[in-house]
Amino acid sequence: MRIAALDIGTNTVLLLVADIDAGGTIHPVRHLQRFPRLGKDVDRNGSIHPEAFERLVAVIDEYAAVARTLNAERIVACATSALRDAANREDLLAYVKSKTGIMPEVLSGADEALLTFRGGLSGLAGAGGMAAVIDVGGGSTEISYGMERASRGEDLYRVSFQLGSVRLTERFFRHDPPARDELRSAGELIGEECSKFGAVGPADALLVGVAGTATTLACLDQGLMEFDVGKVRGYVLSRERIGRWQERLSRLTTGEIRALSAATEGRADILTAGVLILHGFMERLGWEALTVSERGLRYGIILREWEGAPGTRPAGEPPVREGP
């Protein structure tokens, strides 16, 4: 079966067209990434700007054309934090449907965490034991935790925080690079969010990082001037290394960050905030290392569609435990 999955995020809109075989193994056919920044100013204004409507429609039209050219049997679009938060989300959804024929599904934070857990682990060699997945997005951060096979049905802990690289940048950073007090205020908010639930499972669980902050760091840490999936997948970043990158990036301007690598495209101005979030969670929850996966929500969407589930888990699967 060939499925096209669209991940409509706060900063990016991602496309994955992939084949999935009878055993549930995903074989990517085409990836695309665009940066319409749908969630620009949503944290401040509470709604999505009309100009972003047009940017989103243009990307979805492009992706739908690619998916049809590649003979995808299904085209599925899921939206996350920006649409969850926007007061005018119903207007946007209706507009997208009228212009493209595609109606995005707005995922709850908990469902986003579940699908990201499944997708993020799908491309890594089996670790066997406990696993946690952290997804630092533009508008929110999701953490999911459980046995690695929980992606197939066991009990899974999942929680979504109102912390993201776009949200944090817009709320706190007024200078480029950010001032010391701006970084301190952002760090205090991260600490407050972490303190709401304490540690998520044992600190020695395999921690997997997905999405742009983690994959961009993997490129920077290896000195890659372009994104290289073979070198990013499975790359291990220690908390110490992430902390050093946090310190370095916080002293650089957006232009200087952009010059480090083409991998920073579309996120150079928000990367400092993303790394601040990632390091803050690892430090406060006791994780010493992060294994990077280039997979995530799109792959979880494809698994869900392949299973034919009416919701976000197969029929008969036990419920998950949701965090605060």
Instruction: Identify the DSSP state of 201.
Output: S
Can you tell me which residue has the tokens 């908010």?
189
Phi and psi of 75, rounded to 5°? -125, 115
Are 150 and 287 contained in the same domain?
yes
Query: Does residue 120 sit within a domain?
Result: yes
**58 lies in which domain range?**
2-106
Query: Does residue 198 sit within a domain?
Result: yes
Q: How far is CA 85 from CA 10, 58, 136, 262, in A?
A: 10, 22, 17, 31
Q: How far apart are the first and last CA of the chain?
A: 37
Are 178 and 265 contained in the same domain?
yes
- pTM of this structure: 0.86
Q: Helix-strand-coil percent breakdown of the chain, rounded to 5?
A: 45, 20, 35
Are 192 and 66 contained in the same domain?
no
pLDDT in tens, 203-259: 677 899 998 899 999 999 999 999 999 999 999 999 999 999 999 999 999 999 999
Contact residues for 152 (Cβ-Cβ < 8 A; gap 6+) = none
Last residue of a domain, one of 56, 88, 106: 106
pLDDT in tens, 159-171: 888 899 999 999 9
Can you tell me which residue has the tokens 């401040």?
44
pLDDT in tens, 291-315: 999 999 999 999 999 988 333 333 3
Query: Does residue 205 sit within a domain?
Result: yes
Structurally, the chain folds into a number of domains equal to 2
Choose between 241 and 25: higher pLDDT.
Answer: 241
Residue 160, H or E segment: strand 157-161
* Residue 202 exposure: Cα atoms within 13 Å on the Cβ side: 7
Are 95 and 118 contained in the same domain?
no
CATH number of the domain to which 81 belongs: 3.30.420.40
CATH number of the domain to which 145 belongs: 3.30.420.150
What's the CA gap between 246 and 249, in Å, rounded? Answer: 5
Alpha-helix runs per DSSP H in the chain: 42-45, 50-69, 81-85, 89-100, 109-122, 165-172, 180-194, 212-221, 229-232, 239-249, 254-260, 271-285, 297-307
